[in-house]
Structure 1
Amino acid sequence: MNCEQIKKKISIRSVLESFNLYPEKQNSKTAFYFAIDREEKKPSLCVDFVKNKAFDFGTGKSYDVVSIVQQMNKCSVSEALEYLKKFDIPVNSLNINRNESNKNYKILEVKEIEHPALVQYLKARKVFEQRHLVKEIHYQMNGKPYFGIGFYNNSGGIEIRNKYLKICLGKKDVTFIKNHNVKKEICVFEGYFDFLTYLRLPNAQNSNSDFLILNSTAMFFKIEEELKEYEKIVLFLDNDLNGKNLTEEIINKYESVEDCSVLYRSFKDLNVWFLSNLKEWQ
């Protein structure tokens, strides 16, 4: 495909999801995202799934899939096109209604982590010891085979990660892990790599907390009522705008909340902080 064909055929939603970006508000044809070039408190990036384009009301900039990759990766057009080669997903074949599973994929195999690339990725993130909590997922999209590290959510969707990609196969949802602690304490994470990282910390060995992995801050609405049942909420959210905004919302909404992001205030998230302080835990 040439550049113009790519702009029309590859789903702008899938490209945004590859950067772990999800809508804050949406309907069947459009959605609002937070801006991709700055921090903001209200989402201003309007994405038109029919036209496969986005418009930032804050700056007046228009985006297509190529310019989104350029902005996110700070790269040239040719480098953006190279990044987009792995998608090749026609816009019209995607299920725009995210309340139903995306039917544009097929799971080929689910097994324990053994592919060298995935083993290396887990080791690079220093969570290889927690590999029993994830799976090696081989899947097909538009007839092309792919693979990645899979983590299941409560709706049976699979959060797929590898060195180059972040997507969700199926319905987006949270992952709730209950340890029968009678609703005393729950630890909340934004992504599952932070959850796996937490399990490597010394204090985690004696913890009987329940765990909530949001898989996206946009999924918080699914669980906010159930959180009221806990005596204490412990937050390990990212130190970006979305994470900070949600942290503030939770602190204002619930009685007993501990914000642990202060431990890694100079880092993007818990995993990045852990990698920088690994010697302390060895």
Structure 2
Amino acid sequence: MNFSNDRLSLDNIKSLDMVSYLHSLGFDPSKVAHDDYWYLSPLRNEKTASFKINRRINRWYDHGIGKGGNIIDFGILFFKCSIGEFLKEHSGNNTLYHSPVPDKDILEQRQSKITIVKEESLKSAALLQYLKQRKIPLGVASNFCSEISYNISDHHYYGIGFKNDLGGFEIRNPYFKSSSSPKGVTSYDYNNKVLVVFEGFMDFLSYKAMNYGLREKKENFLILNSLSFLDKARPFMEKHKLVQLYLDQDQPGQNATKRALDWGSKYLDHSSLYKEHKDLNDWIINSPQTVSKKIKTAPKP
């Protein structure tokens, strides 16, 4: 679907592809069967996918709560707002719907179970070059990541693995972005009162790179690994006196930031640091020379 710069009408918004919309919010289907896309419900906590979008008719239904409808019906429940507030927020902002959706065969490949074969220290030349391109020193990455060998069906792959608190991995290489089950947040609790929150682990590593070689600050860290875990992670965030948010600058990231800011004055938005960029890592990659030089000259492990 093509979008103009004009304000979207009510009918235009209702016709927006819901699979694309949920992808822009950070939700991808657990399985795809013909026209039916099944998700772990974005509206509540569950372990078995029971939220369905029929892409042919572009309607959703959550079997757990017995409710469904169009994109506006979903938005009102998801953002806990009125229809007027939802329309005001989104009718003039097309960027929310520009997030590309993977082809159906890619989605089906993603739902194939990822089996971790081996975990070892980072050594692959291709992965080390990938880290270099992302301006992440090996000394930083090796403290928090490992090299993962994994299988999808009968195919063997490898990538950078970042473990979550449940034992699953976020997996990255130059051509692939996925995760193994179980999916969850990653937290580092050093018994400090300040918590720094990131959307993805590349932003966390970027933050560490900026401070590499310096005296460690007294901070705890939370990497969501998916915006869908924001509310689930709130109890951990609430234990801290100060929560610094470094979420993405796209619409889903900023919506999540606004939601967290509503929870209280101890939540602070630090995304202005990279306001001209998608996220912290993107800012690091395109950073001023002073920051780039600092990272480049960081001590080697």
1:209 equivalenced with 2:224 (yes/no): no
**Deviations 1:187-245 (CA, angstroms, capped at 9, x unpaired):** 00000000000012249743120000000110112211221121100010000111111
1:136 equivalenced with 2:150 (yes/no): no
Q: CA 1:164–1:205 in structure 2 vs 1: closer, same or farther (change >3 Å)?
A: farther
1:148 equivalenced with 2:176 (yes/no): no
**Is contact 1:159–1:169 with CA below 8 Å preserved after alignment?**
yes
1:270 equivalenced with 2:288 (yes/no): no
**Which of 24, 31, 43 is residue 25 of structure 1 equivalent to?**
43
Measured after TM superposition, the shift of residue 280 of structure 1 is 1.4
**Is contact 2:26–2:228 with CA below 8 Å preserved after alignment?**
no
1:255 equivalenced with 2:265 (yes/no): yes
Q: TM-score, normalised by structure 1?
A: 0.68
Look up the equivalent residue of 1:273 and give its one-letter code.
W
DSSP-derived class of the 1:127 partner: coil
> Which whole-Å CA distance do the structure 2 matches of 1:73 and 1:217 have between them?
17
Q: CA 1:139–1:224 in structure 2 vs 1: closer, same or farther (change >3 Å)?
A: same
Measured after TM superposition, the shift of residue 47 of structure 1 is 8.9
Matches within 5 A, 1:170-249: 170-181=181-192, 184-202=193-211, 205-249=215-259
Aligned length: 218
Look up the equivalent residue of 1:25 and give its one-letter code.
L
Identity, in percent, stands at: 29
Structure possessing the higher radius of gyration over alpha carbons: 2
Look up the equivalent residue of 2:49 and give its one-letter code.
S
Where does residue 72 of structure 1 map in the other structure? 100
Where does residue 118 of structure 1 map in the other structure? 127
Measured after TM superposition, the shift of residue 29 of structure 1 is 3.6
Measured after TM superposition, the shift of residue 139 of structure 1 is 0.6
**Is contact 1:199–1:205 with CA below 8 Å preserved after alignment?**
no
**Deviations 1:160-182 (CA, angstroms, capped at 9, x unpaired):** 0111221110111000111222x
Q: CA 1:108–1:260 in structure 2 vs 1: closer, same or farther (change >3 Å)?
A: same
**Gaps in structure 2 of 5+ consecutive residues:** 1-18, 29-38, 63-68, 73-97, 294-301
DSSP-derived class of the 2:135 partner: coil
Q: CA 1:163–1:192 in structure 2 vs 1: closer, same or farther (change >3 Å)?
A: same
Q: TM-score, normalised by structure 2?
A: 0.64
> Which whole-Å CA distance do the structure 2 matches of 1:119 and 1:56 have between them?
45
**Deviations 1:253-276 (CA, angstroms, capped at 9, x unpaired):** 023122110111111000001111
**Deviations 1:66-112 (CA, angstroms, capped at 9, x unpaired):** xxxx98279xxxxx69xx5x777496xx5xxxxxxxxx232221111
